[in-house]
Amino acid sequence: MNQDHGTGDKIRNARKRRGLTQRELSRLSGLSVSLIAKLEQGAPQLGLVAGQRVGRKATAFKRFQSRFANVVRGAILRDGTRDSGCGLKAFPRDLGLALPYFDGLHRFLPALVRREGRDIGYVDVVDRPRRHGVSNYGFWDRLWIGILDLCGVWWLIRRKRRVPEISEV
């Protein structure tokens, strides 16, 4: 009897029922093959697959800001994430609904997913330069908002209490 144990099993079973390879599912869904493979190989406890940018195309100052912020965030939250600023994040709907919501949530998803007792998988993502528009944040905006959010997430992680399992006798 085939039993689903997690998101990876569900994706793999749905893909196989439709007779698709990972590459075909990638083409149809617009997701990378590496993301689909990481989702499928994930253990039942895999809660998040996050991208990590390689070959950053940003200015030297933005790269410095990002590195500095990731080092500080990593030292305080200890989530093992090299790059929390990458926009690629895939997670089950039920987990997303269970997380506390705030505007800077995307920067702290790895730490919050670990708070829920779930694992994280990473895929490398090739960074592309911005073609249109400008950033909505400057150095000072991101600094103060990031510090406040970091303090809030640190507090949330430390306040998490496991709900004891109750069984009938």
Alpha-carbon gap, residue 153 to 23, rounded angstroms: 37
Strand partners, 50: 89, 122
Question: Exposure of 128 by Cβ count < 10 A (0-12 exposed, 13-18 middle, 19+ buried)?
Answer: exposed
Strand partners, 124: 52
Q: What is the pLDDT of residues 3-25, one digit of tens each?
A: 445 667 777 788 888 888 888 88
pLDDT at 112: 94
| Number of other residues whose CB lies within 10 A of the CB of residue 56 | 17
Q: What is the pLDDT of residues 133-168, one digit of tens each?
A: 887 777 777 788 889 999 999 999 998 877 777 888
Residue 113 has pLDDT above 90, yes or no: yes
Residue 110 has pLDDT above 90, yes or no: yes
pTM over 0.85: no
Q: Residues 85, 90, 92, 94: is their CA dihedral positive or negative?
A: positive
Mean pLDDT across the stretch 45-58? Answer: 85
Alpha-carbon gap, residue 62 to 68, rounded angstroms: 10
Output the average pLDDT for the chain: 83
Strand order of the β-sheet with 89-90 is: 89-90, 46-54, 119-126
Alpha-carbon gap, residue 110 to 79, rounded angstroms: 6
